[in-house]
Amino acid sequence: MAASTLEDVIRGDVPLARAIFNDPRKRRLIPRLQEDGWPIFDLAGKRCAFPADLAAHVRKATRSGPAYRTAARRSGRRRKGAASAVAATTTA
């Protein structure tokens, strides 16, 4: 991958919101993202970021791993209380 140059930089809150959220109306969220440690920096009085850095950070921020599951749910077994409740409703 080629190194980013200043020609590639995304400059301004509206273009950054468009690149991150695909919605330029969310430009007011950009300062908070910068405070939270996103790869956004100030250059000549405007917030800027490199597209590759933003894409990597978005992937990291939206990455979802496997959901935490208990052993009973993983194996398909129900809890004792839930099984007896189902049995009581089917026998009545």
pLDDT in tens, the chain (92 residues): 566 678 889 999 999 999 999 999 999 999 999 999 999 999 999 999 999 999 999 888 887 766 555 555 555 555 555 555 556 656 65
Domain limits for position 50? 1-63
d(CA 80, CA 60): 39
Global pTM exceeds 0.85? no
Task: Indicate whether 70 belongs to any domain.
Answer: no
The answer as to whether 46 is a domain residue is yes
CA–CA dist 13, 40 (Å, integer) = 10
Instruction: Indicate whether 68 belongs to any domain.
Output: no
Q: Is position 18 within any domain?
A: yes
Residue 12's nearest CA partner among 27, 34, 23 is 27
Cβ atoms of 48 and 37 closer than 8 Å: no
Does residue 83 fall inside a structural domain? no
Cβ neighbors of 72 (< 8 A, separation 6 or more) are 78, 79
Domain count for the chain: 1
Assigned domain for 85 exists: no
User: Is 21 inside a domain boundary?
Assistant: yes
Q: What pLDDT is recorded for position 29?
A: 95
